[in-house]
Amino acid sequence: MVLEGEQSVSLDILRQKMADFAKERDWDQFHSPRNLLLALVGEVGELSEIFQWKGEVPKGLPDWEEEEKVHLGEELSDVLLYLVRLSDICGIDLGKAALRKVDLNALKYPVTLCKKLSAVEAEVELDSSNTGAEGDDQV
């Protein structure tokens, strides 16, 4: 059992807990990939509702009440748990797949290219902010 305050929880622990949870309740019969995916989408919808009317939210959620943060944690957990269960039912090692995806993204988006693009985007943004309201009065 994982106790509150421990350093980390592995995907394997979550996978096993979810498998045991479903087996104890005889829910394996309902846990087809399709059903789990639809449940996951529903949970993502519930997660989206939390942010729906808040506009941009700063990192760390400094203006949120503790109760809101607890609710967010519950919805994030629902999404994670369904994702872990779906990957298990599909026979996908989610941890390995995620690490592979990070490696693929590193090849697709090399640091040097991304930094060059960020610098160009910042320059374009700076240029556009220096353009007056009329935009045509620069010589």
The model's pLDDT over 85-105, given as tens digits with 9 standing for 90+, comes to: 999 999 999 999 999 999 999
7 band by pLDDT with thresholds 50, 70 and 90: confident
Structure tokens at 41: 């989408």
Task: Output the average pLDDT for the chain.
Answer: 89
Task: Examine the pLDDT at 68 and tell me if it is beyond 70.
Answer: yes
31 band by pLDDT with thresholds 50, 70 and 90: very high
- Confidence at residue 134, expressed as pLDDT on a 0 to 100 scale: 52
Mean pLDDT of 66-74: 98
Of 78, 104, 105, 83, the closest CA to residue 93 belongs to 83
The CB-side HSE value for 35 (13 A sphere, CA atoms) comes to 8
Does the pTM of the predicted model rise above 0.95? no
Distance between CA atoms of 48 and 111, rounded to whole angstroms?
31
Q: Which residue has the tokens 């400094």?
A: 62
Q: How many CB atoms lie within 10 A of CB 85?
A: 23
Pick 33 or 135 by higher pLDDT: 33
- Confidence at residue 139, expressed as pLDDT on a 0 to 100 scale: 40
- Confidence at residue 6, expressed as pLDDT on a 0 to 100 scale: 66
- Confidence at residue 115, expressed as pLDDT on a 0 to 100 scale: 78
